[in-house]
Amino acid sequence: MAKPDKVAAVAEIADRFRTSSATVVTEYTGLSVAQLSQLRVALGSSAKYRVAKNTLVQRAAQDAGIEGLDDLFVGPTAIAFIEGEAVDAAKALRDFAKDNSALVIKGGYMDGKPLSVDEITRIADLESREVLLSKAAGAFKAKLSQAAALFQAPASQVARLAAALEEKRKGEEGGAGEAPAES
């Protein structure tokens, strides 16, 4: 018979799997409690970092309908349940793993499929959503400015042409009036 605390833990982890936009499975052997606290701070509010027993995590993944992660649940396992932007959390994990060799990224899960370590690294190399949106807005603004200049160009050319014709006409009238006076 299953213990109530383990059943509750499996239910909580399964719920996290269902509500997360992505998950990253890590090995944390050798990290102190202070370092784990630093990692949780680095992840911020976009992800929850949870240490759990492999058997409980495997059952929770099965309950949540997640497949392909069983190979990752070997040894001490901790999971980052990403609730917000996957890029920000992946960057935080990658940067923390660079500074602390004891943290090893094993793999992850996103959009219904397992992720390899290389795929997580590629996600971490992406720019954040806000940066990409601001770049797109800047590109749109530049194109609109180019279009405005293009539409304004013929009108300014006509104005310059009219001014040049007026100058030429004044020059001819002034020159025509002086020619008979000199003769």
pLDDT digits (tens, 9 = 90+) for 60-114: 888 888 888 888 888 888 999 998 788 888 888 888 888 888 888 998 898 888 8
Indicate if 134 and 121 belong to the same structural domain: no
Whether residues 119 and 157 share a domain: the answer is no
Among 77, 97, 126, identify where a domain stops: 126
pTM check: above 0.75: no
Q: How many domains does the chain have?
A: 2
What is the phi/psi pair of residue 29, to 5°? -55, 125
Domain residues for the domain of 35 are 4-126
Strand order in the sheet with 113-115: 47-52, 77-82, 22-27, 104-110, 113-115
Q: Decide which of 97 and 179 is more confident.
A: 97
Looking at the structure, tell me whether residues 80 and 140 fall in a common domain: no
User: 34 and 72 share a domain?
Assistant: yes
